[in-house]
Amino acid sequence: MVTVQHQPTPQPPRPVPGPPPSAAPQADPRAGIEEAMAALDDLDQIPLAEHVERFDAVHSELTFALSSIDKV
């Protein structure tokens, strides 16, 4: 007899530059977008290798905000 154990599907972390997110969910998903966009302000002063991480953070926040519109 084979026993199958179901494990929760891991969710990828949403990288966001700046202070760690609070434990309470954000009421307005636009707040995360503004914070991630602010991290792009100093792109010309950081190494090129770090640009992808910053753009990924903005993409993640935009995806999160768009998915929260329809509660998807």
Q: Is residue 45 part of a domain?
A: yes
What's the whole-model pTM score? 0.54
Q: Is residue 10 part of a domain?
A: no
Q: Is residue 25 part of a domain?
A: no
Domains in the chain, number: 1
pLDDT digits (tens, 9 = 90+) for 22-66: 545 556 777 788 888 888 898 999 999 899 999 998 999 888 888
Cβ atoms within 10 Å of 43's Cβ, excluding its own = 12
Q: Tell me the mean pLDDT in the region 6-23.
A: 56
Q: Is residue 55 part of a domain?
A: yes
Give me the DSSP letters along 52-64.
HHHHHHHHHHHHH
More confident residue, 24 or 6: 6
Q: By residue range, what is the domain housing residue 39?
A: 30-69
Q: Is residue 11 part of a domain?
A: no
Q: Is residue 2 part of a domain?
A: no
Q: Is residue 64 part of a domain?
A: yes
